[in-house]
Structure 1
Amino acid sequence: MGTSSIASLKCSPPMFDSIEWQPERREKYLVNGALCDANGLPHAAHNRAFQYGDGFFETIRVCNGVPQHVELHWNRVEKSLEAHRIEKPANWDIHGWKTALESLCQANGVDAGGRLRVSFFRMAGGRYTPQANALEWIAEVEPLDSNAYTLNENGLAVDVYPDMKKLNGPLANFKNTSALLYVQASLWAREKELDDALITNTSHSIIESTRSNLFLVSNRVLYTPGLESGPIGGVMRAAVINLALEEGFKVYECNISPGEMLRADELFLTNAVRGIQWVASYRTKRYFNTTSKSLIESLNSRLIA
């Protein structure tokens, strides 16, 4: 090709000037209180929670970028460690734990609503009989669309899961990593086109749902299954009981039967992440949501900023 041919070519300017390079955002985790990326996570094959269900977990709501109800969660963690016979490290205290969770939120840019999951398990080693009882833990966080607790617009439809019962025992009140009952009940609810399934114990009392604690309301009195009947000792359950008492409600812990469910004026579910979710129907019964609306407004007014 001659010089004149080269001069006649029309070349486009390079495109690289219009590209703005941005570094890849890597999710951060906590492993025993230290921040790391995914490469620093322990291998699942050696994790006793994965191998034997030997552990428990907490789910913590984040609002305004701040973990909520930390003291209630901490108290349950302490009781869970004791019940699972897992030994706490020497420097284990609520202040350090809370600071670590806050740093995880900041490292992942969760400055409004979010969901923390903290998994606790026994140190690797051994088979059914552990080689050691030392604590290891991992935390992760994800953002949520809503910064505050939001009451569901459409009430939930629920019914009792008939195929399995929850056994009561020393670990029944904790969020154990072995959760097959809740998984199977959730699958059944989906097959029945329900929003959630209610769980019964071996005495046939209704004690909770697959992911929440249960409250009935009748004449401005709240009723919830007692911990001795086997439900998860929910953090939001405790928060709502305290809040309801402050708001002038009477609260009773008692056994709940299908008959009580049908006689109630209102029915709502509580958990740490969603707060309060009102139930519209249980079988042929329909419910109101006046108390749910009132309590969730009070709950949001007490959020830590």
Structure 2
Amino acid sequence: MSGFVNFNGSLLPADKYSIMAGNRAYLYGDGLFETIRVINGKAINLDNHYMRLSEGMEALQMKPPANYSASFFEEQINELVEQNNIEQGGRVRLSVDRKPGGNFLPNSSHVDYYIEAYHHDENRFVLNDRGYKIDLYDEIKKDISPLAKYKTKNALIYIMAKLSSQEKGVDDLLIQNYKMGIIEGGSSNLFVVSNGVLYTPGLDLGPLAGTMRMQIINIALQNGIKVYECNISPQNLLVADEVFLTNAIQGVIWVDSYRTKHYGKEMAKNLTSLLNDQWI
């Protein structure tokens, strides 16, 4: 790894140790993160990312400095992107961790931030040529909790789902809640298309409150496409016209098949085009 990282406003070599001993995210998962797309050398959709991050800090009873804002992190991120010579496509990881100290009971609720920036092959959102093969992840269910919608550093269920998808020879496994509702992919939100209408699990059912999920819902509504938040079952997948996934880096991900069911991709193509119109 070359280039730099940003730790609390200081640029440090990316190939040196830069996380302090006692870091609570490392010890306890006591932190949050955002993964942010870079297009034309600039971070996009930062208002939505910072809104989720700010709400997550409040939910975790963290006390960020008064100067934290979307514009503050935009300046910090874009400086790092420039230092790392990312002129077109890139991806950024912004972490906020509670400051070191204490055991399960922290000594402080103040925070540190840490930013990484990497090149990304594409400078626009590109729909995958080969559709994903998906199935259900049955081993672990996700809790419906007040923290479910935030990107906390407790990500083991997603890691295990990804490992299981590799073992099963599929591209992704869909995670379920304890009510057996299908709520999201291993690193993505879920949308089902039937008769030109979008359906996606509601946030009250336990999925991540994805920033790309929010964008796609807003773009769809702006273009006269109906969207409903509801429970998604395996039966819904079997009768759908299309299924696609979304995340901040890839945008829209076309799903070709769930078991023996195959899907089209016209809605996924249309939304990818509209997404690029918004940012390019």
Matched-pair contact (CA < 8 Å) for 1:214–1:269 = yes
Counterparts of 2:248 and 2:9 in 1: how far apart (Å)?
22
Q: 2:100 aligns with which of 124, 134, 145?
A: 124
1:88 and 2:64 are equivalent in the alignment: yes
Q: Cα distance, 1:41 vs. partner? A: 1.7
1:51 aligned residue: 27
Once the two structures are superposed, what CA deviation does each residue of 1:167-222 show, in whole Å capped at 9, x if it has no partner?
11111001111111111111110000000010000000000001000000011100
1:270 aligned residue: 246
2:124 aligned residue: 148
Equivalent residue runs for 1:4-43 within 5 Å: 26-38=2-14, 39=16, 41-43=18-20
Q: Cα distance, 1:40 vs. partner? A: 7.0
Structure 1: which 4+ aligned runs deviate by more than 6 Å? none
Pair 1:194–1:40, CA change in 2 (3 A): closer
2:182 aligned residue: 206
Counterparts of 2:9 and 2:127 in 1: how far apart (Å)?
33
Equivalent residue runs for 1:189-268 within 5 Å: 189-268=165-244
1:114 aligned residue: 90
Question: Which residue type is aligned with residue 267 of structure 2?
Answer: T
TM-score by length of 1: 0.89
Matched-pair contact (CA < 8 Å) for 2:7–2:113 = yes
Matched-pair contact (CA < 8 Å) for 1:122–1:135 = yes
Matched-pair contact (CA < 8 Å) for 2:162–2:186 = yes
State the secondary structure of the residue aligned to 2:96. strand
Matched-pair contact (CA < 8 Å) for 2:96–2:113 = yes
Pair 1:267–1:26, CA change in 2 (3 A): closer
TM-score by length of 2: 0.97
Matched-pair contact (CA < 8 Å) for 1:34–1:100 = no
User: What is the aligned-residue identity percentage?
Assistant: 44
Question: Which residue type is aligned with residue 55 of structure 1?
Answer: G
Structure 2: segments with no counterpart, 5+ residues: none
State the secondary structure of the residue aligned to 1:239. helix
1:159 and 2:142 are equivalent in the alignment: no
Q: 2:54 aligns with which of 78, 81, 84?
A: 78
Counterparts of 2:151 and 2:69 in 1: how far apart (Å)?
20
Question: Which residue type is aligned with residue 260 of structure 1?
Answer: N
Superposed CA RMSD in Å reads 1.2
State the secondary structure of the residue aligned to 2:279. coil
Matched-pair contact (CA < 8 Å) for 2:35–2:248 = yes
